[in-house]
Structure 1
Amino acid sequence: MTPEPENHERLGQAVKRRQERRERWQREGERSLGQNLAMIGALGWTIVVPTLLGIFAGRWLDRAFDSGIFWTLGLLIAGLAIGCIVAWRRMHSE
């Protein structure tokens, strides 16, 4: 069995990305504690804001349609999922 060419390309890209990160780390050094805390705070807000927007929109829809917590729960989960996806992408772009 021979490995597929697609796997070789992905492996090559991963190795290149790792090498670029290592070179950047050697050039710039470790991030400071303040920078790490700022990143954690920004990622936290990236998750919290869509979640809260989902809750507020859901409560408004539940009051408008007298539907209990149907919209609140659905939009809370949707907001949380969107926030986590955005935070994940932002974290991996750093």
Structure 2
Amino acid sequence: MTADHNAQQPPAPAEDDPLVRETRLRRDRRERWQREGDMSIGRRLAQIGVLGWIIVIPTLAGLFAGHWIDARHGTGIFWTGPFLVAGLAVGGWTAWKWMNSR
């Protein structure tokens, strides 16, 4: 082997490269789909239900926490609104992470 032969080979992709990671994830999903086939209607409906609860539970928790703080301090809806929005943001972020992990 000569030095020129080694210089012509492309470098090996880094393990932490996002393109390599996403390509492997896509390949794994495709292989799983080929092995298992499409999901049933019931399973798809179950996933939609789980997704709904992932968003609703943090939103309601924020609503109740804000209402509790407002009731204790007599501040009207001063804390209810921000806690509701924060709960919705947490639920949306959690749902996004859950959808992208599948």
Task: Sort the TM-score into its range (normalised by shorter chain).
Answer: 0.7 to 0.9
Residue 41 of structure 2 is aligned to residue 33 of structure 1: yes
How far apart are the structure 2 equivalents of 1:9 and 1:51? 35
Equivalence for 2:7: none
Amino acid at match of 1:78: A
- Counting helix residues as a fraction of each chain, which structure ranks higher? 1
Residue 52 of structure 1: which of 60, 66, 82 is its match? Answer: 60
Amino acid at match of 1:69: I
The correspondence of residues 1-94 of structure 1 with structure 2, limited to 5 A, is: 9-94=17-102
How many angstroms does 1:88 deviate by?
Answer: 1.2
Tell me the matched-pair count: 89
Amino acid at match of 1:60: W
Runs (4+) off by over 2 Å? none
Identity %: 53
How far apart are the structure 1 equivalents of 2:59 and 2:98? 17
How many angstroms does 1:60 deviate by?
Answer: 1.2
Q: Deviations over 1:57-91 (max 9, x none)?
A: 11111111111211100100111111111111111
Q: Counterpart of 1:68 in 2: which secondary structure? A: coil
Any unmatched runs of 5+ in structure 2? 1-12
Give the root-mean-square deviation of aligned CA atoms.
Answer: 1.6
Structure having greater relative contact order (Cα 8 Å, sep ≥ 6): 1
The structure having more radius of gyration, on CA atoms, is 2
Any unmatched runs of 5+ in structure 1? none
How many angstroms does 1:20 deviate by?
Answer: 1.1
